[in-house]
Amino acid sequence: MNKNRVKGHELGEVTCPTGFNWTNLKAELRAIWESSIKAWKIELAYPVSFLRQSVSPLIILLPFLIYGMVLVGGRYSENLERMVGTGDVVTFIFTGYVIMGFIGTAVWAMGFSIRGEQWFGTLESIFVTPTSRLSLVLGMALHSTVHQSIGTAVEFAIIYAVFGLGLKIGGILPALGIFVLMMLALYGFGILVSALSLVLKEGWIVAEGLHSIMMILSPVVYPLVVLPTVAQQASAIFPTAPALVGMRVFLIENYQPEVIGNIFLHLLALDAAWILFGILVFHLTDIYVRKKGSLEKY
Amino acid sequence: MPRNVLLQSSAKSNFFIVWSEVVKNLKFLLAYPIVFVFWAIFPIFWFIPFVLQGQAFVGGLQSPSFGEVAGTEEFIPFIILGAILNSYVLTSLYGMGESIRREAYRGTLDYILSSPCNKAFILIGKALSESFSSTLYAISQLAISILFFGMELTLGIIMPVIFIIILLILGLYGLALILAAASLRYKQAHDMAHALEYVFYVFSPVRYPVASLPLWGQIIGRLLPLTYALIAVRSLILLKQNLPAIYLEILALLIIDGIMILTGFYLFNWMEEKTKTSGTISHY
């Protein structure tokens, strides 16, 4: 314990690191970690709920797979092969759906992390601590990303065992790189939703709406080319569309991308745009709700 | 005093309880118009990916492979009808099952359960208001589907379809009663509702026929009221059959309804007594 801290303690004050420096960064990282640990402790207090959520990605995927296979009378679609170079509907759907859960991470887990604290009645206490509000949201993002990864691992193991998947092992690393870039942009999106949940009384409707729209505009269970032209253009503003196309290029044999352009550059631009926009809206909302005094209202 | 007691037990009083519960729930619904708009429109967005997936895999609007197991090659109306009827499942699982929890959150559950009336009528009121709002949502979704997805509906089959939907609702609210009973005792009814939703999601023929499932999956599917309701409604609308042709499905629905409702009321009354004794009614 250093001298300053002892002195601070005697005066009834706490010295806190502020500004852009290593000490402050370490403190914020600690806050993110502790926020994530807290979320895990709450989650593991309800083991049945945890178990249910772990199998949830598999359950949600199954109807898409069964429906797809019933439509083509097997696992090969001639029409799909004409469009994207591969006719394996199981591998196509799996590689698309595997990332959909992470959209839920951004929209629901991050977006409603602040709302959750409001319900528990702990938001004000957290907001008066000398840590960034974003650390709370990012802590939830960390927890939710790990949680979703567990669900995805269960999903992968079972689908691989039951149906088999034609994936290129060598493409896993670059696909993971694309996945990380996509997640960064989704984090920015999640920060935006968490800001909206502070001001909107029925924020879940906005979140569900955004989730549904993103699901339609992303080539999860169909190639982008089946969407109308306007929808194809609109899909470019969300990270999921370029990320899905990019991941499939690396993971599926003979896959022909339905969009042309540098996916890495596209995703980097979306990362910067969504993160900056998310933080800006979050900052403005934070000021607004404090000024209005509506922090604890929901 | 005896007169009051007599009045309370009369049919008029019970009707008043049901009516008050319906009015209260409708007031809540109208207080949040955005929620109403959401449920009237957004379920459409949830089946659009299935429509686009079908077009991408088949390259048109009809699938011969699908026709072999479903009886109709037109997969889009099949999906639409599945989605609309499935919205009754969602509102019954999350609506009525959660309505008891909402009373606990609002701090009104103690008052409701300690009021001098038969609680069954409160639940009937909740079920009726949920059915009313679900039907409004279903009509809206059907209208959108007719306008944008080319769904066809002849006037002659409306009454038989309504009859099937009523049978479906009865079975689902029996199930919701079981959930409401569980939420009185175990509080975390949300997880049970989710688990049940998963069973409906995978094993009922919302997006594909039951015949496309493995045998054990077909057996589970045959235990669900939605399975029979969907087979019946699709037979009427898509296959242009009449009511006598689907008498087996109607019979199955009636049996399931009877079992669900009796079990639901029995469990709810039992749990109510149990929670009153343990003093945990208002806990959440």
Q: Let me know if residue B211 belongs to a domain.
A: yes
Q: What is the pLDDT of residue B26?
A: 85
Q: Which amino acid is at A8?
A: G
Map residue A45 onto helix, strand or coil. Answer: coil
A6-15, A228-237, B177-186, range with greatest mean pLDDT: A228-237
Q: What is the pLDDT of residue B34?
A: 80
pLDDT at A96 over 70: yes
What span, in angstroms and rounded, lies between the C-alpha atoms of A194 and A197?
5
Tokens 């409906």 belong to: B200
- Count of structural domains within chain B: 1
Under 8 Å between Cβ of A276 and A188: yes
pLDDT at A31 over 80: yes
Q: To 10 degrees, the CA torsion angle through A116, A122, A123, A128?
A: -160
Q: What is the pLDDT of residue A13?
A: 63
Chain B residue nearest residue A72, CA to CA? B65
Q: Do B188 and A48 touch (CB under 8 A)?
A: yes
Q: What is the pLDDT of residue A89?
A: 93
pLDDT at A298 over 60: no
Q: Let me know if residue A74 belongs to a domain.
A: yes
Q: What is the pLDDT of residue A207?
A: 80
Q: Let me know if residue A5 belongs to a domain.
A: no
Q: For B50-66, give one letter per residue: b (16+ CB within 10 A) or e.
A: bbbbbbbbbbeeebebb
Q: Let me know if residue B251 belongs to a domain.
A: yes
pTM score > 0.80 for this model? yes
Residue ranges of E strands in chain B: none
Of A29-38, A40-49, A149-158, B177-186, least confident by mean pLDDT is: B177-186
A26-35, A41-50, A131-140, range with greatest mean pLDDT: A26-35
Q: Please report, in tens digits, the pLDDT of each residue of chain B (284 residues total).
A: 455 555 555 778 888 888 988 898 888 888 878 888 888 888 888 889 999 999 999 988 899 999 999 888 999 999 999 988 988 888 777 766 667 667 776 778 778 877 887 777 887 888 888 888 888 888 888 888 888 887 777 888 888 999 999 999 999 888 888 887 887 766 566 778 888 889 998 999 999 999 999 999 999 999 999 999 999 999 999 988 888 889 999 999 999 999 999 998 888 888 878 877 776 655 55
Q: Do A66 and B212 touch (CB under 8 A)?
A: yes
What span, in angstroms and rounded, lies between the C-alpha atoms of B221 and B208?
12
DSSP one-letter code for A298: -
Q: Do B66 and A63 touch (CB under 8 A)?
A: no
What are the chain B neighbours of A73 within 8 Å (beta carbons)? 64-65, 68
What span, in angstroms and rounded, lies between the C-alpha atoms of B185 and B275?
6
Q: Let me know if residue A298 belongs to a domain.
A: no
Under 8 Å between Cβ of B79 and B205: no
Question: Could you give the percent of chain A with pLDDT greater than 90?
Answer: 35
Q: Do A80 and B56 touch (CB under 8 A)?
A: yes
Give the residue with greater pLDDT, A10 vs A106.
Answer: A106
Q: Let me know if residue A94 belongs to a domain.
A: yes
Mean pLDDT of A27-53: 87
Q: Let me know if residue A20 belongs to a domain.
A: no
- Count of structural domains within chain A: 1
Q: For A33-65, give one letter per residue: b (16+ CB within 10 A) or e.
A: eebbeebeeeeeeeeebeebbbebbbbbbbbbb
Q: What is the pLDDT of residue A49?
A: 83
Q: Do B52 and A63 touch (CB under 8 A)?
A: no
Q: What is the pLDDT of residue A294?
A: 66
Torsion-angle region of B242 (φ positive above 0: left; ψ -120 to 50: alpha; else: beta): beta
Q: What is the pLDDT of residue B176?
A: 82
Q: Let me know if residue B2 belongs to a domain.
A: no
Chain B residue nearest residue A201, CA to CA? B32
Residue-range definition of the domain harbouring residue A261: 29-292
Q: Let me know if residue A11 belongs to a domain.
A: no
What are the chain B neighbours of A66 within 8 Å (beta carbons)? 207-208, 212-213
Q: Write the ipTM.
A: 0.83
Q: Let me know if residue B197 belongs to a domain.
A: yes
Q: What is the pLDDT of residue B203?
A: 94
Please classify residue A290 by burial: count the beta carbons closer than 10 Å to its beta carbon, then call 0-12 exposed, 13-18 middle and 19+ buried: exposed
Closest CA of chain A from B259, distance in Å: 27
Q: What is the pLDDT of residue A1?
A: 43
Q: How many CB atoms lie within 10 A of CB A267?
A: 22
Q: Let me know if residue B179 belongs to a domain.
A: yes
Q: Do B68 and A73 touch (CB under 8 A)?
A: yes
Cα A278 versus chain centre, distance: 13
Chain B residue nearest residue A48, CA to CA? B191
Q: Let me know if residue A6 belongs to a domain.
A: no
DSSP one-letter code for B213: S
Mean pLDDT of A227-255: 91
Number of A/B CB contacts below 8 angstroms equals 110
Q: Let me know if residue A297 belongs to a domain.
A: no
For A146-162, the pLDDT digits (tens) are 988 888 899 899 999 99
Torsion-angle region of A257 (φ positive above 0: left; ψ -120 to 50: alpha; else: beta): beta
Give the pair of three-digit tokens for residue B206: 């919302």
Residues of B with CB under 8 A from a CB of A: 32, 34-35, 38, 42, 45-46, 48-50, 52-59, 63-66, 68-70, 75, 188, 191, 194-195, 198, 201-202, 206-209, 212-213
Under 8 Å between Cβ of B97 and B193: yes
Residue-range definition of the domain harbouring residue B39: 12-278
Q: Let me know if residue B226 belongs to a domain.
A: yes
Q: Do A70 and B66 touch (CB under 8 A)?
A: yes
